[in-house]
Amino acid sequence: MKIAVIGYSGSGKSTLSEYLGNKYNIPVLFLDTVQFLPGWRERDFDEGKKIVLDFMNNDSWVIDGNYRKYYRDERLEQADEIIFMNFNRITCFFRVYRRYRIYKGKSRMSMAEGCHEKLDYEFIKWILRDGRKKGIRSKYKSIAEMYKDKITIIKNQRQLDDYINSIK
């Protein structure tokens, strides 16, 4: 089983990915751990691509994240299921704020060690505006159309709860 979890920052991609990995007993790759090294330094591009490509060679996986440069099209094509976390921007902001309060000064399991949780102006702007620009929304729409037979779109907590409860 191969599952790609995509969507907006703060929508719960990592939490759902971890849940699915545990539920199905399959490995999970958080693309933020590929992109970033301790202290929020960016990893070498070729090294990151190799990590993702090697991981994709597993028979089963959950891959959490959007990063186009890390074989997004190939991940989506290979995935048996694509889950698009399409929560609204206000919900995402409040989830990020809650996450910040829990993990302030610490690293989450879905981030590289030494990348302490932060909530700064640039990230808030990304959640509320820049990460929702027309081009990004259009890309998600085209992914949903292209993979309509294997995509699940989750727009709110009730739908997420229903999805989780439907898993065998």
**pLDDT classification of 114: cutoffs 50, 70, 90:** confident
Q: Residue 84 maps to which CATH number?
A: 3.40.50.300
Instruction: Report percent pLDDT > 90 for the chain.
Output: 88
- pLDDT per residue over 132-163, tens digit each? 999 999 999 999 999 999 999 999 999 999 99
Positions of E strands within 16-103: 28-30, 36-37, 41-42, 61-64, 81-85
Listed in sequence order, the DSSP H helices in 65-156 are 72-78, 89-103, 121-128, 134-146
Structural domain that includes position 34:
2-166
Averaged pLDDT, 71-90: 97
Q: How confident is the model at residue 143, as a pLDDT?
A: 97
How many folded domains does the chain comprise? Answer: 1
